[in-house]
Structures are given as C-alpha cells and as structure tokens.
Amino acid sequence: MTPEFIYLASQSPRRAQLLGQLGVKHELLLALPDEDVEALEAVLPGESPTAYVQRVTSLKLDAAMARWEQRSLPRAPILCADTTVALGRTILGKPEDAANAERMLAMLSGHTHRVMTAIALQHGAERWALLNVSHVRFAPIDADRIAAYVATGEPLGKAGAYAIQGRAAAFIEHISGSHSGIMGLPMFETARLLRQAGFRL
C-alpha cells in the first residue's frame, strides 16, 4: 500500500520546500521544548565528519520514532536529515555567535570544503539511509566582506556559517555535487529512499 504522506522531522524550511518539489505531502514531526536535540549533535573524540553526520542522522531518527510513538500518531514513513560542513577532518557546525561565524568563513575562504548530508527514512521496521557528499570551493574573501555577511544574520544556525541559497552564493567559485544536498536535502537520494518506502514519484 502506497503511503499517503511522510513525517519530516526537521525544522528546516529549506528541507520542507525541497520535499514539496518532489510532490510528497508531509507533516512536521518536531521536538518538544524539553527535548535536548543539541545534545545529539555533540562530536565524539576522533570522529570523522562522515561518521559524525551519519551517526547524528540515525540518532535524530531514533528520537523522531520515539516522538511519533509517544504521540500515538498515524503510521507513515519518517524522514530525518543532517548536514555537516568539513574542511579536511575539521567539522564546522552551526556557529555559536558572530565571532565564531567569522572564524569559520575565514577558514573556508580560498579553500574547497565538503558538504555532507545524510538522510534516513524509516517505515515500520524498515530503515534506509544514504549519504550525499558535495565539494564547494570558496573564492578568497576579505575580512570586511565576511563581517558584512555575518552582520546580515544569515550565517547563524547554518552549518559552516553560510547558506548556499542566500547571499553566500556570491562567494562560491565552484560546486561539484548536489546543490539540493548542500541546501540540506539531496533530491536524488531522497527520491530513491521514498521509492523504497513505496512512493510513486
């Protein structure tokens, strides 16, 4: 039987928008204020960026499954995703403040970094997961331009302190990979998982 909708366990409006492009109806399955979601994103000592993003996505899906069960919601597939920016083995998460955002952007300036988005989908007892890896090269950016960008507030709450669909697009010299994956939900991989769960796209 084909599912009629999915639960999206993400606060990201970009993920919801991208999911809508696939023509998939979804309902948000968000954490309550008493859930410590940030604790799930702690990096383990010596953990590689690839292992990190896959582990965090799996933990987020576990939490979403528990949330679904506690609320006695109708059965439907549950989708989770997590995006991580990495420069070498250094994980650049969401900046804590403007100064932290400026430091991250200065590190990315003139270099190529990886953007990894892991997705996981659970339907009943079945769980599927995929990883998308893209490479992004920033042009050299001077301190004044970095400060001006950070002052817009856009980098806060974004992995790597930037949003490709926003003003930071002006910094990007080259992309190798998935534009939607860099935004936070790789369309090709997401469609593949949804088909495995029974959707006809």
What are the residue boundaries of the structural domains of the chain, listed by start? 6-196
Cα gap 161→70, rounded to integer Å: 34
Position 2 pLDDT exceeds 80 = no
Q: Is 36 a catalytic residue?
A: no
Q: Give per-residue pLDDT as tens, 120-177.
A: 999 999 999 999 999 999 999 999 999 999 999 999 989 999 999 999 999 999 999 9
Which amino acid is located at 155 in the chain?
Answer: P
Question: Which residues fall within 8 angstroms of residue 85, CB to CB, at 6 or more apart?
Answer: 91, 92, 93, 108, 113, 114, 115, 116, 159, 160
Phi and psi of 2, rounded to 5°? -75, 125
Q: Give per-residue pLDDT as tens, 51-64.
A: 999 999 999 999 99
User: Is pTM, for the whole model, over 0.95?
Assistant: no
Active-site residue identified among 82, 97, 142, 144: 82
CATH class of 6-196: alpha beta
